[in-house]
A and B are shown apart, each in its own frame.
Chain A
Amino acid sequence: MAELDAARDELVAALGADAVLHDPLALRLYARDASMVEGSAGLVVFVRSAEDVVVCMQVAARHDLPVVPRGSGTGLAGGATPLADAIVVVTAKMNRILEVRPEDRLAWVEPGVFNLDLGNALRPTGFTYAPDPSSQQVSSIGGNVNTNAGGPHCLAYGVTSAHVLAVDVVLPDGSVGRFGSEAPAAPGYDLRGYVVGSEGTLGIVTAACVRLTPLPPAVRTLLLDFADVEDCAQTVSAIIARGVVPAALEMMDRGIVRAVEAFAHAGYPTDAAAVLLVEVDGLPAGVEAQTREVEAAAREHGVGTIRIAADETERALLWKGRKSAFGAIARIAPHYHLHDCVVPRKALAGVLSGVYAIAQRHDLIVTNVFHAGDGNLHPLFSFDRSVPGTLERVLAASDELVRLCVDAGGSLSGEHGIGLEKRDFMPLVFTAEDLDAQACLRAAFDPDGRMNPRKVLPDGARCGDYAAAALARDGALPEGTWI
């Protein structure tokens, strides 16, 4: 604790007493993110600038303390949950949009800017920031960058990594670097691409240069309902098979539709087995053509009614239904465990049946609302933690769920990340050699292993002897051997 006390005194001296929290309540509040995992925070520091972050890193290095970056704390995989009395560096107060340059199709923002605030600020310029995670009202760009966040509109536009041109990063030794460039190419290895999605394990992002996407001239939103879940899932593939890639293609099952309808009153059909929310965009003529194809694909698979949003108000209402899903499920039970796994599109129907079977086996309520076009499932178990044995059933069901998705040719996470929650599942999809290589490359950024330790990789992963020796020979390779 002596090191922690000394670090606290130095941080208070450098950043002011109001920037450093260490009372028991604060430490308790920052001991977890939106996942189910509880950790322990040593200190909580609110940074206001890149210089503040440098100070945090230097102090942590001096006292050999772990550092955990945190944005809004909405992460679902435990990526921002501190372990072993780490210093939690909160970037929420770095929340300025620094520069918007439509002529370069880019904007510079600080990490604490909320995703939705950025989108709203850009709207008058005729551009938008495309990734739109469902948490966008409160999740920050810094967090989005670190988890490589997705969202409904990533089907056509791609996930966060496709929309980040550059990041300013403070490395664990306190040095700073700009990875990527305002230009479409930059010298050296693509460190930008490696940092995006690295879950705060390589450094702290203090600014991001994001790509602006032109707002489409026309948009149309359709709500399709089905009496059979399988028909609904098949329609997803049928739309793609017709050469249409909708801007968004979201599926919701009956359980979630009923919860949402009681909450948002969006006019969703509560008697349907499942609904598809489809959005197509482009030029007006292209939107017409895509709409025809979507309708034809749905009819081939026994669609019930096809509702097309007549105006912007109705469109907003349909999306409200989708985006308020995770708030609405509080009506079902006090706690929920939201999953995130991704499977090949054609496996969707089979995996969904598997999800229902797992829930039944463990006597749990499951609802599904997810990015069907991406094959990205979000099964959501609702439960009451205070009932003895419930949490154990949830965890057992979760374990089966992960294996079900991997067996179907899928992966552990589509957009939430690995964090602590799925760390130990990594050997299901990677060999020991794969994981060791990832550990080595992580060590290239953080040789002392102080950045968000024990996240993403299982404990056993480490550099192989040969590579470790080469890494340890600091500067052994002559100048000019990096590209």
Chain B
Amino acid sequence: MDLIHPHSKRDVVDALRAASAAETRVLIVGGRRHIDKGNPSQVDAELWTTVLDDRVAYDPAEMLCVVEAGMRIHDLTAMLAEGGQEWPVDAPGDSTVGGVIASAAATIRQLRVGAMRDTIVEMEVVTGDGRLIKSGARTVKNVTGYDVHRLLTGSLGTLGVIVQVALKVRPLPKAARTLVSGDGGLELGRRVLDAVPLPAAVLAEPDRIVVRLEGWPEEVEEQTTAARSIAAFDETDALFPEACFPEASTLAQAAVAPSRLGALLAGVDRCRAMLGVGIAWVPFEHEDALTAFRARATELGGIAPVIRGPGGLGAGAVPAPEVQRRIRAAMDPAGILAPGRAWSS
């Protein structure tokens, strides 16, 4: 296994030109946090993005920051905190910005802050054959040209190396609070979701409900009162966002329409479900159980890729496969980037 450790965008360009010419298969690596997603198969080299971690521009008044994509999340968080702001994406501190984007990591607070994919306004990418291209603009709003960055988001390193991004950031909430109830279950969770106005997250587990509240101090008080009208809740700061089933050897992250979470999770004894959004994390010890769970997700119009451990992305009906193949060919003509990181049909 070769190691490519670029110190500049130019290095990435040179490395991928050479790799394409030599047909060297390359896996792009950030913080290794999402490396199991899509179980990349045999590669000849790893390209580490972690030295490409410069701050390029940050002006809090613009609510935008521009950073190189190898920057670690904890460094980004610290940088933005100086401006009283945050990138509203919940990811492990040692993961990289580029890795979080390329793996389309789920955001716990998506219910209130929206999806991660909508925070990326500009991107620089090096394609598989070593072209440095840019899309988007450093403005909060922009419809100039095609949003190539949309295709890169969630592409799992199969279209190019994300080397730099401009991100929409937002003011840190004036107040935040986590509530935990001693009772759990989807039904109770749904009642909490209906009763609490504009929560940041309502997470349901079989034996507890976790509610994240953010806003102005008075708002958080009002939300707390509303939550307590449904169930008894303790306040805590330590639990959010805690790691999801850290001991499990295999962790799937299912996605279904929000109302189908109940059908998806019937009979599942360990899970965490993001209510109102439709994401559920489920740990597995046996392959058979994962297979059965995935079949149910498919029946419900959803998916259940594994994000930690073996199991890959699973089955998924990829729409317009010819278009997808041509996109891949346009970005990575030699097909060297993470071959095999794919949905099975």
Q: Inside 8 A of A437's CB, which chain B residues have their CB?
A: 127, 131, 133, 148, 330-331
Q: Which residues between 276 and 314 of chain B lie within 8 Å of chain A, taking CB atoms?
A: 276-279, 301-303, 313
The reply to whether B174 and A467 contact each other, CB–CB distance below 8 Å, is no
Contact status of A481 and B255, CB under 8 A, knowing A179-B319, A283-B198: no
Q: A159's closest neighbor in chain B, by CB?
A: B141
Q: In this assembly, does A387 line the interface, its C-beta being within 8 Å of a C-beta of chain B?
A: no
Chain B residues within 8 Å of A, Cβ to Cβ: 38, 59-64, 84, 104, 106, 110, 114-115, 117-118, 127, 129, 131-135, 137-148, 150-151, 153-156, 158-159, 170-172, 174, 197-198, 215-219, 221-223, 255-260, 276-279, 301-303, 313, 316-331, 333-335, 339-345
> How many Å from the CB of B223 to the closest CB on chain A?
7
Q: Inside 8 A of A466's CB, which chain B residues have their CB?
A: 129, 333
The reply to whether B137 and A411 contact each other, CB–CB distance below 8 Å, is yes
> How many Å from the CB of A218 to the closest CB on chain B?
9
Q: Inside 8 A of A186's CB, which chain B residues have their CB?
A: 255, 303, 316, 319
Q: Inside 8 A of A346's CB, which chain B residues have their CB?
A: 59, 61-62
Task: Mark the stretch among A42-50, A392-400, A425-433 that contacts chain B.
Answer: A425-433
- Neighbour of B219 across the interface among A177, A283, A342, CB < 8 A: A283
Task: Mark the stretch among A98-106, A255-263, A330-338 that contacts chain B.
Answer: A98-106
> How many Å from the CB of B89 to the closest CB on chain A?
14
A contact residues, total (Cβ < 8 Å)? 107
The reply to whether B118 and A162 contact each other, CB–CB distance below 8 Å, is yes
Q: Inside 8 A of B218's CB, which chain A residues have their CB?
A: 283, 285-286, 288-289
Residues 459-483 of chain A, each 1 if its beta carbon lies under 8 Å from chain B, else 0: 0000110110111011111011111
The reply to whether B321 and A482 contact each other, CB–CB distance below 8 Å, is yes
Contact status of A467 and B342, CB under 8 A, knowing A147-B143, A411-B137: no
Q: Inside 8 A of B129's CB, which chain A residues have their CB?
A: 466-467
- Neighbour of A480 across the interface among B153, B326, B329, B342, CB < 8 A: B342
Query: What are 27 A-B residue pairs whose CB atoms fall within 8 Å in the complex?
Result: A158-B118, A162-B115, A171-B320, A183-B278, A185-B255, A189-B155, A190-B117, A193-B150, A197-B146, A283-B216, A342-B139, A411-B137, A411-B139, A414-B142, A414-B143, A429-B137, A434-B133, A437-B131, A441-B148, A444-B323, A457-B145, A467-B129, A473-B329, A481-B339, A483-B155, A483-B318, A483-B343
Q: Inside 8 A of B329's CB, which chain A residues have their CB?
A: 444, 467, 470-471, 473, 476-477
Q: In this assembly, does A247 line the interface, its C-beta being within 8 Å of a C-beta of chain B?
A: no
Q: Inside 8 A of A477's CB, which chain B residues have their CB?
A: 325, 328-329, 335
Residues 404-446 of chain A, each 1 if its beta carbon lies under 8 Å from chain B, else 0: 0000011111111110001000100111011101101111110
Contact status of A375 and B330, CB under 8 A, knowing A162-B114, A483-B342: no
Contact status of A191 and B323, CB under 8 A, knowing A285-B219, A444-B330, A481-B335: yes
Q: B60's closest neighbor in chain A, by CB?
A: A241
Q: Inside 8 A of A482's CB, which chain B residues have their CB?
A: 158, 318, 321, 324-325, 327-328, 342-343
The reply to whether B143 and A418 contact each other, CB–CB distance below 8 Å, is yes
Q: In this assembly, does A216 line the interface, its C-beta being within 8 Å of a C-beta of chain B?
A: yes
Q: In this assembly, does A244 line the interface, its C-beta being within 8 Å of a C-beta of chain B?
A: yes
Q: In this assembly, does A389 line the interface, its C-beta being within 8 Å of a C-beta of chain B?
A: no
- Neighbour of B330 across the interface among A179, A422, A426, A443, CB < 8 A: A443
The reply to whether B326 and A187 contact each other, CB–CB distance below 8 Å, is no
Q: A438's closest neighbor in chain B, by CB?
A: B146
> How many Å from the CB of B39 to the closest CB on chain A?
12
The reply to whether B172 and A463 contact each other, CB–CB distance below 8 Å, is no
- C-alpha spacing A376/B139, complex, angstroms: 9
- C-alpha spacing A245/B169, complex, angstroms: 11
The reply to whether A414 and B139 contact each other, CB–CB distance below 8 Å, is yes
Q: A472's closest neighbor in chain B, by CB?
A: B329
The reply to whether B197 and A193 contact each other, CB–CB distance below 8 Å, is no
Residues 164-201 of chain A, each 1 if its beta carbon lies under 8 Å from chain B, else 0: 00000101000101110111111111110110111000
Q: How many A-B residue pairs have CB under 8 A?
A: 315
Q: Inside 8 A of A193's CB, which chain B residues have their CB?
A: 117, 147, 150-151, 153
Q: B132's closest neighbor in chain A, by CB?
A: A433
Q: Inside 8 A of B153's CB, which chain A residues have their CB?
A: 190, 193
> How many Å from the CB of A408 to the closest CB on chain B?
10
Q: A290-B216, A482-B158 are in contact. List 18 more A-B contacts (CB 8 A).
A: A158-B118, A184-B110, A184-B278, A185-B106, A185-B255, A187-B318, A196-B147, A243-B84, A243-B172, A286-B219, A342-B139, A374-B139, A376-B139, A416-B143, A437-B330, A438-B148, A441-B327, A477-B329
Which of B38, B134, B215, B329 has the most chain A CB within a 10 Å cutoff? B329
Q: Inside 8 A of A426's CB, which chain B residues have their CB?
A: 144-145
Contact status of A481 and B257, CB under 8 A, knowing A194-B151, A412-B144: no
The reply to whether B147 and A194 contact each other, CB–CB distance below 8 Å, is yes
The reply to whether B330 and A104 contact each other, CB–CB distance below 8 Å, is no
- Neighbour of A345 across the interface among B62, B117, B159, CB < 8 A: B62
Chain A residues within 8 Å of B, Cβ to Cβ: 101, 103-106, 147-148, 150, 154, 158-159, 161-162, 169, 171, 175, 177-179, 181-191, 193-194, 196-198, 214, 216-217, 237, 240-241, 243-245, 282-286, 288-290, 342-346, 371, 374-376, 409-418, 422, 426, 429-431, 433-435, 437-438, 440-445, 447, 456-457, 463-464, 466-467, 469-471, 473-477, 479-483
The reply to whether A214 and B330 contact each other, CB–CB distance below 8 Å, is no
- C-alpha spacing A105/B258, complex, angstroms: 8
- Neighbour of A188 across the interface among B145, B215, B318, CB < 8 A: B318
> How many Å from the CB of B342 to the closest CB on chain A?
4
- Neighbour of B106 across the interface among A184, A197, A374, CB < 8 A: A184
Q: Inside 8 A of B255's CB, which chain A residues have their CB?
A: 181, 183-186
Q: Inside 8 A of B279's CB, which chain A residues have their CB?
A: 184-185
The reply to whether A413 and B144 contact each other, CB–CB distance below 8 Å, is yes
- C-alpha spacing A194/B326, complex, angstroms: 14
Q: Inside 8 A of A483's CB, which chain B residues have their CB?
A: 38, 155-156, 158, 313, 318, 324, 341-343
- C-alpha spacing A289/B322, complex, angstroms: 53
Q: Inside 8 A of A409's CB, which chain B residues have their CB?
A: 138-139
Q: A283's closest neighbor in chain B, by CB?
A: B219
Which of A185, A431, A464 has the most chain B CB within a 10 Å cutoff? A185
> How many Å from the CB of B232 to the closest CB on chain A?
22
Contact status of A214 and B143, CB under 8 A, knowing A182-B301, A190-B117, A240-B63: no
Q: Inside 8 A of A289's CB, which chain B residues have their CB?
A: 174, 216-219
The reply to whether A188 and B118 contact each other, CB–CB distance below 8 Å, is no
The reply to whether B151 and A442 contact each other, CB–CB distance below 8 Å, is no
- C-alpha spacing A105/B64, complex, angstroms: 28
Q: Enumerate the 8 nearest inter-chain pairs by beta-carbon distance, A residue then B residue, closest first.
A: A187-B316, A193-B150, A285-B218, A470-B333, A411-B137, A444-B326, A243-B171, A188-B318
- C-alpha spacing A172/B146, complex, angstroms: 18
Q: Inside 8 A of B278's CB, which chain A residues have their CB?
A: 104, 183-184
- Neighbour of A285 across the interface among B155, B216, B316, CB < 8 A: B216
- C-alpha spacing A371/B138, complex, angstroms: 16
Q: A412's closest neighbor in chain B, by CB?
A: B144
The reply to whether B333 and A150 contact each other, CB–CB distance below 8 Å, is no
- Neighbour of B61 across the interface among A169, A240, A414, A464, CB < 8 A: A240
Contact status of A101 and B145, CB under 8 A, knowing A434-B133, A437-B127: no
